[in-house]
Structure 1
Amino acid sequence: MGDFPAFRIVRWELKVLYIVVAWIVGYAIADLLRRLEVAPSVISVVDIVVTLASFALAVRVFRGRGEPIDPPRAWWRMTGWRRLSLRLGSLFGALAALSLVCLVGEITGAVTASYGVTGWLGLTLQYGVLAFFYFNSAAHMARLGIARPPKPLKFRPTIKW
């Protein structure tokens, strides 16, 4: 990868655009597989792979404010700074717990709007894996003392008339 140019996304607007496009691509692939009447378990596996691949690419190319642009991130680093890793880990942990509740409800017959056992299982696994990686990232940053640099001060002169 020596000659491969470093592609980085720094602006938050482009990060949101990436996430939206990745979601649309994942949805389109799953919808195509449903129309082709592929088994739900296969669709769940493909969905997990597409989702985790889009996250893997995102964490490699996204950069936080003050984070070095050129060098590649360490394999374990999911975000620029610890606080965001903790927040995203908490979000995905909560989503994994909610998906697990829905999975149990599906299995016991308490859920009437069915996403299917394989669908809930797939979501629970996706969210659980992502929560683990984000919490792992936060733990590594804490151990290594990686801290977000302070925001630059903006001085606005006061104008007296």
Structure 2
Amino acid sequence: MTHTSQLDGSDMALRITSATSKVGVVLVAVVLGFALGFFAMFLLGPTAGALTLLAVTVATVVFCGRTFRAEDEPTAPPRPAWRLTGGTTSSVVMAGFFILQGLSTVLALAAGDDGAAVAVVSALVYAALAAAYVLSAVAQRAGRLRAQHPGGVG
């Protein structure tokens, strides 16, 4: 289900809670990313295609982090900027995905794939995305532990 919530009396914020809608958004982003990447590649070359695909990936992560909500997560308040998913497990899975993306980019470079500069930029962006999801998981876990043990040392 897709929800909108009132933020300041005039602004409506999109919140996506349905798993089906989330999958649909991600699939559209993947298709759009590849289409725009191929289009840029044919017009401007492989570097432009790779950078276009990378830009769509980052835009998708930002969009999903701001709009996707877990079933038990409130839809009304905006998430803190550091929180990218509804739960720790989702953050860990996404971090693993971006680690694998970065490793595959590095392996393609090591295998002699042309475009070393793009591969390095891509690997760094994927590493930054993975780090952001790890920080999201750690912060969510710490918040959950503080909520379970209020008044604890730390």
Q: TM tier, shorter chain?
A: 0.7 to 0.9
CA RMSD of aligned residues (A): 2.2
Distance 2:72 2:139 in 1: 18
Within a 5 Å distance, the mapping from 1:44-59 to structure 2 comes to: 44-59=50-65
Shift of the 125–47 alpha-carbon distance from structure 1 to 2, 3 Å rule, reads farther
Distance 2:50 2:15 in 1: 30
Question: More displaced, 89-98 or 16-25?
Answer: 89-98
* 1:69 and 2:75 are equivalent in the alignment: yes
2:12 pairs with 2, 5, 25, which one?
5
Within a 5 Å distance, the mapping from 1:11-160 to structure 2 comes to: 11-36=18-43, 38-106=44-112, 114=113, 116-118=115-117, 120-145=119-144
| Larger of the two Rg values belongs to structure | 1
TM-score of the pair, normalised by structure 1 = 0.76
Give unmatched runs, 5+ long, in structure 2: 1-6, 147-154
Give unmatched runs, 5+ long, in structure 1: 107-113, 148-161
Count of residue pairs the alignment pairs up: 139
Quote the sequence identity (%): 27
TM-score of the pair, normalised by structure 2 = 0.79
More strand by share: 2
2:126 partner amino acid: Y
